[in-house]
């Protein structure tokens, strides 16, 4: 049974007793509590659910309109009915209506009229509760559907990030570490949570353009000659062309990262020889994450560098290849970097 919680407020005990008796005859679903003082009624409303309030108008400390106004601040959906002995006083009614009253009764109370008006408010309250429940359920369904869409979106990004690695001998560990290193740097650089999530999910797309690189170049175990290297240098633009122009914020971030992660802070990078802060922050961050992980990872054509060796290289390239501020942040958070490295060290 869904109970209806009603409070009755009147400074006259006889009126309280009458309302209690009339309410008892209206069914067991009604839970009525009575108060002789409006302050006590407000104290009750602070910590208890109240569906309907029946209040006298003329009372000490505050009148019925003031009580309704304060009660609706505490519980905005509370319904109310004012009982008055002032007849058809228009000023009184206007004051009560401005406070948000739903109905009026006059003294002396007529049993049938009282019960009908209270039943009308109960019906309204039940409809209100049904609507609120429907809205809650609808919001939950929308939330579930949104979470499902986001999950599928992340899965799509993961599949895309693995596309380049189908040809390039890098592992799923590389994807995970680059993503986590990038998010770590973004956080300590001061990017907001939305941008942290963007770079986390988009940074693994940095080498998507390698699907357009010839296998004899991409998989060559030795050093590339000048012509081969020029061909390899086209992969940032290929990735950018694949990812650009969508309404998906992660793919747009991926396009930026693909295009800029081989730019260098001193302007000696490619494909556009951008310099300093001309390079998007996503590109500057991913460059560090990608190079560091490449150095500390074993490949068919090279041994893994130690953390000390890799950090020495980053310091050496500070202000040249890499943004010096980001290098300082990376080094100052090296314990978190190590934790990420070991967490995904054995991922297949």
Would you give the DSSP letter of residue 210? G
How does pLDDT run across 123-175, given as a tens digit for each residue?
888 888 777 777 777 777 767 766 666 666 666 676 676 666 656 555 567 88
Length of the chain in terms of residues written? 348
- SS3 call for 35: strand
Prior bond of 198 cis (ω within 30°):
no
Buried b (16+ CB within 10 A) or exposed e, 91-122: ebbebbeebebbbbbeeebeeeebeebbeebb
Radius of gyration of the chain (CA): 35
For residue 84, the cross-strand partners are 106
HSE toward the beta carbon, residue 61, CA cutoff 13 A? 13
Residue with tokens 């590109």: 283
Asked whether the beta carbons of 285 and 185 are under 8 A apart, the reply is: yes
Asked whether the beta carbons of 340 and 177 are under 8 A apart, the reply is: yes
Please state the φ and ψ torsions of residue 298, each to the nearest 5 degrees: -80, 135
Would you give the DSSP letter of residue 52? E
Prior bond of 108 cis (ω within 30°):
yes
Asked whether the beta carbons of 80 and 124 are under 8 A apart, the reply is: no
For residues 333 and 345, give the distance between their C-alpha atoms in angstroms, rounded to a whole number.
18
Stated as kind and residue range, the H or E segment containing 181 is: helix 172-189
For residue 116, the cross-strand partners are none
Domain annotation for the chain: domains and CATH numbers: 4-138 (3.40.50.2300), 166-343 (1.10.3210.10)
How does pLDDT run across 58-81, given as a tens digit for each residue?
888 888 889 999 999 999 989 999
Q: What was the pLDDT predicted at 185?
A: 97
Among candidate residues 296, 310, 301, the one with its CA nearest the CA of residue 224? 301
List the chain residues with pLDDT less than 50: 347-348
Among candidate residues 123, 105, 126, 122, the one with its CA nearest the CA of residue 114? 105
Would you give the DSSP letter of residue 109? P
């Amino acid at each position: 049974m869904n109970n209806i919680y009603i409070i009755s407020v009147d400074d006259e005990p006889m009126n309280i007793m009458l309302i209690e008796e009339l309410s008892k005859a209206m069914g067991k679903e009604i839970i009525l509590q009575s108060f002789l003082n409006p302050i006590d009624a407000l104290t009750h409303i602070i910590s208890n659910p109240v569906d309907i309030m029946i209040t006298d108008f003329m009372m000490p400390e505050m009148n019925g309109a003031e009580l309704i106004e304060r009660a609706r601040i505490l519980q905005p959906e509370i319904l109310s009915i004012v009982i008055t002995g002032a007849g058809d006083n228009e000023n009184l009614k206007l004051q009560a209506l401005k406070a948000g009253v739903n109905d009026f009764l006059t003294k002396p109370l007529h049993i049938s009229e009282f019960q009908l008006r209270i039943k009308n408010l109960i019906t309204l309250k039940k409809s209100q509760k049904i609507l609120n429940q429907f809205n809650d359920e609808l919001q939950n369904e929308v939330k579930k559907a949104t979470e499902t869409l986001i999950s599928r979106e992340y899965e799509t990004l993961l599949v895309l990030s693995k596309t380049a690695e189908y040809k390039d001998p890098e592992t799923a560990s590389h994807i995970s570490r680059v993503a986590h290193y990038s998010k770590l740097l973004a956080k300590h650089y001061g990017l907001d949570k939305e941008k942290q999530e963007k770079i986390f999910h988009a940074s693994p797309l940095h080498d998507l353009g390698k699907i357009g690189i010839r296998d004899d170049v991409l998989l060559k175990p030795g050093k590339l000659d000048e012509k081969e290297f020029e061909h390899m240098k086209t992969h940032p633009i290929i990735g950018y062309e694949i990812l650009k122009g969508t309404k998906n914020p992660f793919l747009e971030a991926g396009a930026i990262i693909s295009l800029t992660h081989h730019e260098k802070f001193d302007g000696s990078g490619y494909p556009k020889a951008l310099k300093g802060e001309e390079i998007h922050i996503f590109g500057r961050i991913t460059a560090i994450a990608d190079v560091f992980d490449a150095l500390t990872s074993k490949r068919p054509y090279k041994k893994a560098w130690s953390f000390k060796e890799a950090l020495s290289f980053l310091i050496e390239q500070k202000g040249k290849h890499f943004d010096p501020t980001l290098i300082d942040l990376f080094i100052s958070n090296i314990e978190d970097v190590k934790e990420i490295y070991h967490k995904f060290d054995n991922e297949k």
